[in-house]
A and B are shown apart, each in its own frame.
Chain A
Amino acid sequence: MAFKTIVGLEIHVELSTKHKMFCNCPNEYGAEANTQTCPICLGLPGALPVVDKEAVEYAIRAGIAFNCEISNVIRMDRKNYFYPDLTKGYQISQADLPLCDGGYVEIELEEGTKKISLNRIHIEEDTGKQTHTDEGLSLLDFNRCGVPLIEIVSNPDMNSAEEARLFLDNLKDTLKYIGVSDVRMEEGSLRCDVNINIVDKERGLKSNISEIKNLNSFKAVVKAIEFEEKRHKDLLEAGDNSEKETRRWDETKGETVLMRKKFGASDYRFAFDGDIPPVDVSDEWIEEIRKSLPELPHHKKERFMNSYGLSSYDAGVLTQSKELSLFFEEILKYIDDPNLVSNWIMGDVLRRLKENEQEIEDIKIASKDLADLIILVRDGKINNNTGKKVLREMFDTGKTPDLIVKEQGLVQISDEGALSGIIEEVLNNNEQSIIDFKNGKDRAIGFLVGQIMKASKGKANPQVVNKLLMEEINKR
């Protein structure tokens, strides 16, 4: 393929601070319309902005997590334009001097790790919300107005929809990890715009960049990139080219459509906001924030691989969410076998969570209880299948494994005397299977084990059963 796709992303993330960016209104999602506003975020005459400290701290956290250079001064600018969801006729943002410069995000590809470089991360305020009614009205709610945002701008370093998805996954996980945002796309706390074009290397042609807006899920981002890739390619192949334009993803049609031109001429007239004198950001403060950051996912992943001997894949999954990695390490306090614990979590625990549509935060099981369960199985007190059953029970009721095992009498029977009686009975009732086995049908042994397990109500220790069964058959 001679075509190369070039994708850059612009991501707006709402910070989950207590207060809004420039006023002390609560920063909460879902309140009744226009009940979370004040003179400042409503842009009433005379009201003045003051920058929220927590918002700056959160933005710096993100800057550090994404390896940016943190600026030693905060300078805010006004982006002047008119729009009904904007209360002051300008948005307070950052133009020349973003709080965080450069940086990168690493993604894991089959061919190895790839660095996606960032252009910048800057701070700004969110706008209100406009709803259109069927009666031909526009209704405006300004609760969201002034909520702190960071805008993360990547360089055009991604070359496929898949790379964009990996980039976004990493970004989302990290933002959640460092506790600066809920990153809920459905609530609009993470919004993504795509810039895309393609290059025909052979013919030395380039398509013009399309900007895609209104992408409200990662799936939509992937589909929109794939759609645009093809559209640009088809245009170039037909000797044509795409227009430099803004398009929007239409979920129902499954395609991008040209956006109506924004009304009015756009000329943002960026100018320094004199209401907000520059604020110094000391190296000490940056250092303090750096120290307060939790271990970042990629660092933790490396540590899991090095100190616990986990595979890259397992370490990756276990460190995807902070809570999961903490759960894992908590269990290790009680049972020093990282691979065994990893297998349990990667297998049954995550499967159960997925089935229940739960997050690790929702789990009812205490880390010590899961450790106890794993120990019960490892030590042969209950067998593997029983262990899974117990786990299910633990998921549903939150009871300790010991209690479940006791209540249901699940302790594994390893006593040879007790088991040989069952085995003898099963063999007596299944003469044909013994003949089959001796005639080379290995499958028959499985059937016999099954019958024995059934007769023992699943409590028989499989290893002991196997050993005794073979001895008994050989005797016959």
Chain B
Amino acid sequence: MEITNLKAWEMKDKLFNKELSSREIIEAHLKKIEEKEPQINAFISLNKDNALKEANRIDEKIARGERLEVLAGLPVGIKDNIVTKNLRTTCASRMLENFIPPYDATVIENIKRKDGIVIGKTNLDEFAMGASTETSYFGPTKNPVNTGVVPGGSSGGSAAAVAANEVPIALGSDTGGSVRQPASYCGVVGLKPTYGVVSRYGVVSMANTLDQVGTFGRDVRDAVLMLNAVKGYDRRDSTSSKKVIPDFLIDKDNYNDLKYLKDIKVALPKEYVELKSSNKDIQDLFEKSVKIFEDNGAKIEYISLPHLKYALETYYIIMTSEVSSNLARFDGIRYGHRAEKYDTITELYTNSRTEGFGEEVKRRIMTGTYSLSAGYAEEHYKKALKVRTLIKEDYDRAFANHDVILSLVSPILPFGFDSMIKDPVEMYKADLYTVPINVAGLCSISLPMGRVDGLPVGLQITGDRFMEEKIIKAALGYERAVL
């Protein structure tokens, strides 16, 4: 039995049945990481010694017959924009190359409390800004399915680590698709919960009204297991929701999952139908998937989201504005890169920030600063906040009569390195499926629906705010159907 091929929930069962020890599980994954990293580069830092120590602790717990928590003995990959106490947290930036946080993010505390083991910190686009993990200061991550293409981004390290069996489950963050798109590109499951379901305390902000921690697994069960462990109200995050989200209990036996598709009301936004993927094979795969829903008893209806066509502009203005302010704290004084040479305070700031940040980060700070600058804030930022309301209301109407919305995750296949889609229209379309979901704060899951040219393509199932249960059930049903 190859331990690393197991799903997390399978490993957990074997650990509970004493077929496997925690130490065996961690050692197997460390070995896998050692083997795969030279090709994949999914990790920025490893937590080897501590992970082994933790594994021993779990094994002792088992030996003493103590109660085990839900993540017992499982190795977890953590996107490196989530702070971990005494474990370097870089945001894949030169700015934080040597930053050792003195505190744990709430999600890390939750993982530890649930007996999970942080095995390492995964690669990302610098400060989560990108869709290919190419802007990392620590070099790009390769897609385990085909190392000639990108793993997507920004949570490319987490997606690739899960796809390469370096870890069974991982955390990412999703501001405009950063969990769902890499999940799609690497052929794994990526779940972005409703804004407010998972605490953002300790998650380095990119665009704080859009950011949400998401989870990865090699099947829906694992992504849900990971979510169960980290979700919940946090008094240290004012945007955290007090709604009690129940644990999404999943039967071990998945033969009945198909029933979840029966009678659910599926909406297809006609704006996406009109947009279509320029890749016919991708489009065909999607239509086949819709057919699977239909064949299993789902009701398909076309709907309209009239403000969807403004979602990208709205997102872009809000995102960059928030970025410009959120990244102002990196000034080289209390932590982070400090320039060697400066003669004035302005130079201390300017040199440190100019040296510490990469190109994409600087571009976004600049456009955001421009959007908020004197004379523009009203027509740029405030206007965008109002259009955001309209987009949200479109979805509210859609979900009044429907359970889930189906769409592509990305209309294109994972692309080659340095090929960053040059055509602005294509670039625009590439984000159009994922971004509106963050603008409206919805929950959404990306799961594999097949391959085109040997590369994975994902299906996106979106639900209303706090309706995780609906998208999870639909995803389980679909997953069962395509198994």
Q: Is A294 an interface residue (CB 8 A)?
A: no
B-chain residues with CB within 8 Å of residue A263 when the two chains form the complex:
344-346
| Residues 273-318 (chain A) with a chain B CB within 8 angstroms | 274-277
B-chain residues with CB within 8 Å of residue A274 when the two chains form the complex:
208-209, 239, 322
Q: Are A47 and B201 in contact (CB under 8 A)?
A: yes
Q: Is A327 an interface residue (CB 8 A)?
A: no
Q: Is A340 an interface residue (CB 8 A)?
A: no
- The CA-CA distance from A276 to B236 in the complex, in Å, is 11
- The CA-CA distance from A44 to B336 in the complex, in Å, is 10
Q: Is A82 an interface residue (CB 8 A)?
A: yes
A-chain residues with CB within 8 Å of residue B303 when the two chains form the complex:
none
Do A45 and B328 form a contact, CB below 8 Å, given A269-B377, A270-B377, A271-B377? no
| Residues 28-52 (chain A) with a chain B CB within 8 angstroms | 39, 42-51
Do A46 and B202 form a contact, CB below 8 Å, given A78-B325, A84-B345, A263-B345? yes
A-chain residues with CB within 8 Å of residue B454 when the two chains form the complex:
none
- The CA-CA distance from A373 to B349 in the complex, in Å, is 68
| Residues 59-93 (chain A) with a chain B CB within 8 angstroms | 78, 80, 82, 84, 87-90
* A267 CB contact (under 8 Å) in B96, B209, B334, B374: B374
- The CA-CA distance from A84 to B83 in the complex, in Å, is 24
Q: Are B102 and A44 in contact (CB under 8 A)?
A: yes
Shortest Cβ gap from B424 to chain A (Å): 27
- Chain B residue with Cβ nearest A140: B333
B-chain residues with CB within 8 Å of residue A269 when the two chains form the complex:
324-325, 369, 372-374, 377
B-chain residues with CB within 8 Å of residue A140 when the two chains form the complex:
333
Q: Is B82 an interface residue (CB 8 A)?
A: yes
Q: Are A275 and B208 in contact (CB under 8 A)?
A: yes
Q: Are B321 and A82 in contact (CB under 8 A)?
A: no
Interface centre among B83, B208, B235, B238 (most CB of A within 10 A): B238
Q: Mark B76-90, 1 if CB is under 8 A from A, else 0.
A: 000001110000010
Q: Interface size bucket, B side?
A: 35 or more
Interface centre among A44, A49, A274 (most CB of B within 10 A): A274
Q: Are B204 and A46 in contact (CB under 8 A)?
A: yes
- The CA-CA distance from A464 to B9 in the complex, in Å, is 104
Q: Mark B233-251, 1 if CB is under 8 A from A, else 0.
A: 0011111000000000000
Shortest Cβ gap from B466 to chain A (Å): 16
- Chain A residue with Cβ nearest B83: A46
Q: Are B373 and A87 in contact (CB under 8 A)?
A: no
Do A89 and B328 form a contact, CB below 8 Å, given A45-B99, A49-B238, A274-B322? yes
- The CA-CA distance from A43 to B159 in the complex, in Å, is 29
- Chain A residue with Cβ nearest B101: A44
Number of interface residues of A (CB under 8 A): 32
Q: Is A417 an interface residue (CB 8 A)?
A: no
Shortest Cβ gap from A83 to chain B (Å): 8
Shortest Cβ gap from B140 to chain A (Å): 23
Q: Is B91 an interface residue (CB 8 A)?
A: yes
A-chain residues with CB within 8 Å of residue B101 when the two chains form the complex:
39, 44-46
A-chain residues with CB within 8 Å of residue B105 when the two chains form the complex:
46
Q: Are B201 and A272 in contact (CB under 8 A)?
A: no
Do A43 and B334 form a contact, CB below 8 Å, given A48-B236, A50-B235, A89-B329? yes
A-chain residues with CB within 8 Å of residue B83 when the two chains form the complex:
44-46
Q: Are A82 and B331 in contact (CB under 8 A)?
A: yes
- The CA-CA distance from A269 to B371 in the complex, in Å, is 9
| Residues 330-360 (chain A) with a chain B CB within 8 angstroms | none
- The CA-CA distance from A288 to B327 in the complex, in Å, is 40
Q: Is B197 an interface residue (CB 8 A)?
A: no
- Chain A residue with Cβ nearest B196: A277
Q: Are A48 and B238 in contact (CB under 8 A)?
A: yes
Q: Is B428 an interface residue (CB 8 A)?
A: no
- The CA-CA distance from A88 to B200 in the complex, in Å, is 17
- The CA-CA distance from A277 to B374 in the complex, in Å, is 24
- The CA-CA distance from A327 to B236 in the complex, in Å, is 44
Q: Is B203 an interface residue (CB 8 A)?
A: yes
Q: Are B334 and A87 in contact (CB under 8 A)?
A: yes
Q: Is A264 an interface residue (CB 8 A)?
A: yes
* B321 CB contact (under 8 Å) in A39, A271, A275: A271
- The CA-CA distance from A264 to B96 in the complex, in Å, is 25
B-chain residues with CB within 8 Å of residue A78 when the two chains form the complex:
325
Q: Is B302 an interface residue (CB 8 A)?
A: no
- Chain B residue with Cβ nearest A38: B103
Q: Are A48 and B200 in contact (CB under 8 A)?
A: yes
- The CA-CA distance from A267 to B415 in the complex, in Å, is 40
Shortest Cβ gap from B49 to chain A (Å): 24
* B328 CB contact (under 8 Å) in A46, A88, A264: A88
Q: Is B462 an interface residue (CB 8 A)?
A: no
A-chain residues with CB within 8 Å of residue B333 when the two chains form the complex:
84, 140
Q: Are A45 and B373 in contact (CB under 8 A)?
A: no
Q: Are B325 and A46 in contact (CB under 8 A)?
A: no
Q: Mark B208-227, 1 if CB is under 8 A from A, else 0.
A: 11000000000000000000
Q: Is B381 an interface residue (CB 8 A)?
A: yes
Q: Is B385 an interface residue (CB 8 A)?
A: yes
- Chain B residue with Cβ nearest A275: B208
Shortest Cβ gap from A419 to chain B (Å): 78
Do A45 and B238 form a contact, CB below 8 Å, given A80-B325, A271-B321, A274-B322? no
- The CA-CA distance from A263 to B343 in the complex, in Å, is 13
- The CA-CA distance from A272 to B81 in the complex, in Å, is 23
- The CA-CA distance from A89 to B353 in the complex, in Å, is 12
Q: Are B201 and A46 in contact (CB under 8 A)?
A: yes
- The CA-CA distance from A277 to B200 in the complex, in Å, is 14
- The CA-CA distance from A48 to B373 in the complex, in Å, is 24
- The CA-CA distance from A89 to B235 in the complex, in Å, is 24
Q: Is B205 an interface residue (CB 8 A)?
A: yes
Shortest Cβ gap from B144 to chain A (Å): 28
- Counting from the closest, the 4 A-B pairs by CB-CB distance are A89-B328, A274-B209, A269-B372, A46-B202
Contacts A48-B239, A140-B333 supplied; 10 other A-B pairs, CB < 8 Å: A39-B103, A43-B334, A45-B99, A82-B331, A88-B328, A89-B327, A267-B374, A269-B374, A271-B381, A275-B208
Would you give 17 A-B contacts (Cβ < 8 Å), ordered by A? A44-B83, A45-B91, A45-B96, A45-B204, A45-B335, A46-B83, A46-B200, A46-B201, A50-B236, A80-B325, A82-B345, A89-B330, A142-B334, A263-B345, A269-B325, A271-B325, A272-B385
The residues of A with any CB-CB pair to B shorter than 8 Å are: 39, 42-51, 78, 80, 82, 84, 87-90, 140, 142, 263-264, 267, 269-272, 274-277
The residues of B with any CB-CB pair to A shorter than 8 Å are: 81-83, 89, 91, 96, 99, 101-103, 105, 200-205, 208-209, 235-239, 321-322, 324-325, 327-331, 333-335, 344-346, 349, 369, 372-374, 377, 381, 385
